[in-house]
A and B are shown apart, each in its own frame.
Chain A
Amino acid sequence: MSQKLLLSAKEIDIILHRLACQLIENHTHFKDTVLIGVQPRGTFLADRIRQILLNDYHLDTVDLGYLDITFYRDDFRRGEKPLAANSTDIDFVVEDKRVVFIDDVLYTGRSIRAALTAVQSFGRPSEIELLTLIDRRFSRHLPIQPNYRGRQVDAINQEKVKVHWKENEGEDAVYLVGK
């Protein structure tokens, strides 16, 4: 199994700051904006972006929630393994809010499709945007595109893109893993 480094810790740091700046451009004070990390892997990215917004760009408050999409997925009973649920933690109402979904890798688009359905359980947002660290283009099954993308990657279907986070895997890095 081959493994190629796509992004180093330094590159990830630069990209996260750029993404945070792009969010500020569109959302200024984040008064009516909420960030939602998509479980399980989008939560690390969402935490980081929020930390950068608060610490480096001195925003007062940025609402952040986690959304679990397990019960909204379209592949229930189709895979080999049963789907394990994660916790949903949204302590605000998304009614009339500008929601930004945050996920680490955008691949087929099916997770985001599920998230679009799931978030409706918490109200009707005024708009929904998508921020993703890695955009695997040419592999989409649905017409879903990110509003903010860290890096576009052309990977064939047999390959996997793995995002490592310091708080979980001990390092910040993105790898392309071959068969």
Chain B
Amino acid sequence: MSELSVNHLLGIKYLNKKDIDLIFETADHFKEVINRPIKKVPSLRDITIANLFFENSTRTRLSFELAEKRLSADVINFSAASSSVKKGETLIDTVNNILSMKVDMVVMRHPNPGAGVFLSKHVDASIVNAGDGAHEHPTQALLDSYSIRERLGEVAGKKVVIVGDILHSRVALSNIFALKLQGAEVKVCGPKTLIPKYIEKLGVEVETNLRKALEWCDIANMLRVQNERMEISYFPSTREYTQQFGVNKKLLDSLNKEIVIMHPGPINRGVEITSDVADSDQAIILDQVQNGVAVRMAVIYLLASKIKR
């Protein structure tokens, strides 16, 4: 069996196509495991994993914790809000203190882009990036592609539009890398103010008309407007955003085909997507969440298999 080409999962941009195939094949086995009466395997019983969350998270954190526990790893959790980071400790000091308690792997979310890469150069542990600022969120992109593969058979050749706040979204960037690597076509759609300059250099097209984008695509990945990352106003009002870039049932029914709707969560119902769309059969939002556990189990399992004693 082949193994991953990397010792850390810092971003999709460090992976190759074979890595993604291997992760998906392994995730297939774990998906079977998590649907058994007893959803646990003992593979990682001698591995300790620290989940370091320097930024808020519900889904990702629970998903990682569950994946680790399903693999029988020992898990410690840390959130910046209740820690010595507030007392002025540096990132490397914080992590080295944790590692001196014999931790093998670190899952980290951090508000600064590149925090995972920085850490991987300074500490002796396997690092998994669970989101670094507006940079990358690799496990989210992997589970998104895995969900597309599950619903439509394969990712290659599919047309995917990513709608919304591309500028502040690590999910968008990781998804672009992952989808392009697997041979999908990608467009981004949103207000011009929320689309980064030179994004075409990544091999994606920009479309500012939502209807045209939806008519073109097989899959629409709807992103949340990240108000917490906005220091200035990027569009006049939420109401106007919804009118221009929100997806509702009427709009979907008026298309000449049925497209798949994805959302990485958390959803702002009534803003980027209406409730009747989010809860419809076209949406695979809850499949994404379930697949997230299987994909994260695969990533952790494959990285842990590279740790030598």
Query: What residues of chain A have their CB less than 8 Å away from a CB belonging to chain B?
Result: 68, 70-72, 76-78, 81-88, 93, 117, 120-123
Q: In the complex, are the beta carbons of B37 and A85 less than 8 A apart?
A: no
Chain B residue with the shortest CB-CB distance to A78 = B309
- Given A76-B43, A77-B305, A77-B308, A82:B36 Cβ within 8 A: no
**Which of the listed residues A71, A93, A117 has the most CB atoms from chain B within 10 Å of its own CB?**
A71
Interface residues of chain B: helix, strand, loop or mixed (majority):
loop
State the CA gap A56–B3 with chains docked (Å): 44
B202 at the interface (CB under 8 A from A): no
Q: In the complex, are the beta carbons of A121 and B38 less than 8 A apart?
A: yes
- Given A77-B307, A85-B26, A120:B42 Cβ within 8 A: no
Q: In the complex, are the beta carbons of B37 and A122 less than 8 A apart?
A: yes
Q: In the complex, are the beta carbons of A82 and B29 less than 8 A apart?
A: no
Q: In the complex, are the beta carbons of A121 and B1 less than 8 A apart?
A: no
Q: In the complex, are the beta carbons of B29 and A68 less than 8 A apart?
A: yes
Q: In the complex, are the beta carbons of A77 and B304 less than 8 A apart?
A: yes
B61 at the interface (CB under 8 A from A): no
B41 at the interface (CB under 8 A from A): yes
State the CA gap A121–B302 with chains docked (Å): 22
- Given A71-B41, A117-B42, A88:B304 Cβ within 8 A: no
Q: In the complex, are the beta carbons of A120 and B43 less than 8 A apart?
A: no
B21 to chain A, nearest CB (A): 13
Query: What residues of chain B have their CB less than 8 Å away from a CB belonging to chain A?
Result: 1-3, 26, 28-29, 32-33, 36-44, 71, 301-302, 304-309
Q: In the complex, are the beta carbons of A85 and B29 less than 8 A apart?
A: yes
B156 to chain A, nearest CB (A): 23
Partner of A123, one of B26, B37, B41, B305: B37
A163 to chain B, nearest CB (A): 21
B210 to chain A, nearest CB (A): 41
- Given A76-B305, A77-B307, A77-B309, A71:B33 Cβ within 8 A: yes
Interface residues of chain A: helix, strand, loop or mixed (majority):
loop
Q: A82-B1, A123-B37 are in contact. List 9 more A-B contacts (CB 8 A).
A: A68-B29, A72-B41, A77-B308, A77-B309, A82-B306, A87-B28, A88-B32, A117-B42, A121-B37
- Given A77-B307, A82-B302, A88-B32, A71:B37 Cβ within 8 A: no
For A81, list chain B residues within 8 Å (CB).
1
A77 to chain B, nearest CB (A): 6
Partner of B1, one of A76, A84, A122: A84
- Given A72-B42, A87-B29, A82:B37 Cβ within 8 A: no
B8 to chain A, nearest CB (A): 16
For B36, list chain A residues within 8 Å (CB).
121-122
Partner of A83, one of B40, B305, B306: B305
- 6 CB < 8 A contacts A-B: A76-B305, A81-B1, A121-B33, A121-B38, A121-B39, A122-B37
For A72, list chain B residues within 8 Å (CB).
41-43
For B305, list chain A residues within 8 Å (CB).
76-77, 82-83
State the CA gap A78–B41 with chains docked (Å): 18
